[in-house]
Structure 1
Amino acid sequence: MNDITYDLRVLQSHLDSILQRVEHNSLTLKRLQSFEMHLLGLNSLAEILEFILDECKSLFDLEVVSLYLFDPNGEIAECLSQNNYESHARSGLLLVDNDGLFKRFFDFRLQPVLGLYHPEKYAPFFHGFSEPPSSVILVPLVRRGRYLGSLNLGSRKKDRFVKTMATDFIAHLGSVISVCLENTLNFETLRRTSFLDPLTGVNNRRFMEQRLVEELERSLRSQQPLSCLFLDIDFFKRINDSYGHQTGDYVLSSVACAIKKHLRNSDVLSRYGGEEFVVLLPEADARIAGEIGERIRDCIASLMLDYAESKISVTLSVGAATFDASRTQQTSISALAAQLLHAADTALYRAKRDGRNRVVNAGDIPSEQACTV
């Protein structure tokens, strides 16, 4: 009888253990499904990266999570930069232009690599963390036979990730993350290129008009000024007539590149049409706008462009205007946008009329008189 009682207790213990594992797996599955649904609902690459890096810690109860992404052409970095996301400063995010490390670790087996943390092997995947993990699992992110990168999870517990553990949940998560990353990057690349001027590589008029509305809304919320520069290449028709349209295209691209060097990451440069450019300067008052306009004008005036054995000098005329959110009256965003562009364009016309190669600052719209800098 005692033997039977003992056997029943052992059996009950096994059943309890099995039920606990089933309950744990069921809870993990629900949390994983919730994670995936949230991930699939995000709209931008920056949001996806932030969500993965933050929520994986909570989902798996981990101390260290990193994303190691393959970015051979700088598309991810460019996409994040245009959304004012500083990828280089984000702990746990690393962009690399070589997929050799992925090939060496995963060899297209598409299965997670896990076990005790060995610095000589795993340190590159956890670069920048003050305290390394004790055990790790590296999840390859692969789509259409191409490495996107890896999701790297680390625990301070040595027995958390052992080679005998099942990895079905985590491998499935890696597949979902891969799909989301690929789709979102493709979408944002398409959207970004549709807003680019193909000749100069800067934003086009459509993008500027959209961003102007966004920046005005931000200006109203923050009560910070927003300035606008209208820039026009002087006597551009003469360049086309004298040297040909290919030379004119080269001048446009060179001027756009030179203007961009004098702008901050938050500033927006667009080709407005023909030889005209527009720059939006968030949190820049009329004085700063005038100074930036003058620096750009001076830079362009000092250029000597070499093309097809010809040396070409170029000058710019610049009109500046500033929206002061603290002084505005109730009006529509579209009306404010039109007013700011009109003020900067009118100042540009004055610069042209007064001799070109100069900056005319309209000051704060609509109250101040235009003054020549």
Structure 2
Amino acid sequence: MEEDLTTDLTVLQGHLDGMLNRVHANSATLQRFQTFEKGLFNLNSLSEMMEYVLKAQDFFELDYIGLCLIDAKTELKNYLFKGGFALQANPKLIILPDDELIQTKFGHSVTPYLGAYKTAKCAEFFSLDKHKPASVAIIPLIRRGKCLGTLNMGSLDSQRFIDSMATDFIEHMAAVVGICLENHLNFETLNRSSLIDSLTGVNNRHFLEQRLGEEIAIAQRSTEPLSCFFLDIDELKNINDHYGYHVGDQVIILASAVIREQLRNNDVLVRYTGEKFIALLANIEQGQGIEIAQRIRYAVKALGVSTPDGLVSVTISIGCSTYNPVNGVQLKPANVETNLIEKAEQALHKAKSDGQDSVVSASGFSDPMTLANLFKRHQ
């Protein structure tokens, strides 16, 4: 009898020890989740969020953590690119063109998958360079009934994720990630709509006002040239009067796309007014700028715009100016801005008066004494 009681007490003690261990483990897990959430809520951009989540495996002692996100309109890629996020350097972020993969694997269920790594079910959610995880958790990110993608976690421990385990922490984490993702996407969309021209999809004048000072400051720090193009589609008023504004709008859309194609990804292109555009090209000196402007002119001239009378050709006039910073000379950015734009605009007027369909370059400026004279009227 006494031996049986001792055995029962030993078993009970074992159960209690196990329960205490689980309590301690759950408490530690909760603390890690709370630390992770605090960091997540304090991030300022979509790019920061991506980097934070993809590096969070140490928070949870995992061997893999990644995301599959749906990007039907390629907006996500654009936002990340502009935020400086390197997609190729972060293969654990998988971009999906639609929700077909998630629908195929999950149907309309929003229940996470926890269990063994099965190639047929899991492979497309994981970008693996070495070992396959033994167990995984694939959790759909759902916001307002819409699937944004999945959060994917993996462990070499086959018992880390099993189908019988509670999913409270994991689902809560996925919900927080989904909320933050939605908020950042909404912010990027709102910010983009305030800085993007709705007709052409290029940046607008408000964006130029923000960016021009930054480009000049960068040029002064690096002492590298900054070139500016002032571009004007020729005879757009006549096209509008003869064919209607819908054709005129088509001319603007096609011309802006051609201009964009001739520029680098880091060059700035804005629709300044109606048929006028401004481009900023960092580290492009005067001669290079003229060559690029000529390429733009030839590309626009090759356009054919459909009208009731057949294809109509389009031409463009371009004025160029270049700022050449002097090492150790810090000019007021506002003065450089004014002069850079004005010189490009003066060159544009010369191109228009010379018969249009041409490129005219103003002389570059860098001499501080010359600048002091030029800027007297702006001080």
TM-score (norm 2): 0.88
Conservation of the 8 A alpha-carbon contact between 1:84 and 1:265: no
Is the alpha carbon distance of 1:68 and 1:277 closer, same or farther for their aligned partners in structure 2, counting shifts above 3 Å? same
Partner of 2:158: 158
Is the alpha carbon distance of 1:28 and 1:336 closer, same or farther for their aligned partners in structure 2, counting shifts above 3 Å? farther
The 3-state SS of whatever aligns with 1:200 is: coil
* Aligned residues: CA RMSD: 2.5
Report the Cα distance in structure 2 between the residues aligned to 1:27 and 1:363, rounded to whole angstroms: 67
Report the Cα distance in structure 2 between the residues aligned to 1:338 and 1:140, rounded to whole angstroms: 51
Is the alpha carbon distance of 1:361 and 1:102 closer, same or farther for their aligned partners in structure 2, counting shifts above 3 Å? same
Report the Cα distance in structure 1 between the residues aligned to 2:187 and 2:144, rounded to whole angstroms: 17
Q: Residue 145 of structure 1 aligns to which amino acid in structure 2?
A: G
Report the Cα distance in structure 1 between the residues aligned to 2:217 and 2:10, rounded to whole angstroms: 69
Report the Cα distance in structure 1 between the residues aligned to 2:151 and 2:363, rounded to whole angstroms: 51
Which range is displaced more, 217-226 or 24-33?
217-226
Conservation of the 8 A alpha-carbon contact between 2:228 and 2:280: yes
Partner of 1:44: 45
Partner of 2:272: 272
Q: Does 1:211 find its partner at 2:215?
A: no
Give deviations 1:72-119, integer Å, cap 9, x for gaps.
222212322333434355311111122122223333442221111111
Partner of 2:354: 354
TM-aligned CA deviation for residue 3 of structure 1: 6.2
Q: Any unmatched runs of 5+ in structure 1?
A: none
Alignment map for 1:45-194 (pairs within 5 Å): 45-55=46-56, 57-87=57-87, 90-127=90-127, 129-194=129-194
Give deviations 1:181-206, integer Å, cap 9, x for gaps.
11211121122122222222221111
Q: Residue 125 of structure 2 aligns to which amino acid in structure 1?
A: F
TM-aligned CA deviation for residue 305 of structure 1: 2.2
Q: Residue 21 of structure 1 aligns to which amino acid in structure 2?
A: R
Conservation of the 8 A alpha-carbon contact between 1:196 and 1:204: yes
Give deviations 1:245-276, integer Å, cap 9, x for gaps.
22222211111111111122212211100211
Give deviations 1:324-363, integer Å, cap 9, x for gaps.
3454722333333223222222222232233332222235
Partner of 1:18: 19
Conservation of the 8 A alpha-carbon contact between 1:126 and 1:132: no
Give deviations 1:307-333, integer Å, cap 9, x for gaps.
233332222111222333454722333
Which range is displaced more, 330-339 or 175-184?
330-339
Q: Residue 52 of structure 2 aligns to which amino acid in structure 1?
A: F
Partner of 1:253: 253
Q: Residue 53 of structure 1 aligns to which amino acid in structure 2?
A: L
How many aligned residue pairs are there? 368
Q: Residue 51 of structure 1 aligns to which amino acid in structure 2?
A: Y
The 3-state SS of whatever aligns with 2:65 is: strand
Q: Percent identity?
A: 43
The 3-state SS of whatever aligns with 1:269 is: strand
Q: Residue 32 of structure 1 aligns to which amino acid in structure 2?
A: F
Conservation of the 8 A alpha-carbon contact between 2:232 and 2:277: yes
Partner of 2:318: 318
Give deviations 1:155-187, integer Å, cap 9, x for gaps.
122222222222211110000111111121112
Conservation of the 8 A alpha-carbon contact between 1:350 and 1:360: yes
Report the Cα distance in structure 2 between the residues aligned to 1:162 and 1:355, rounded to whole angstroms: 75
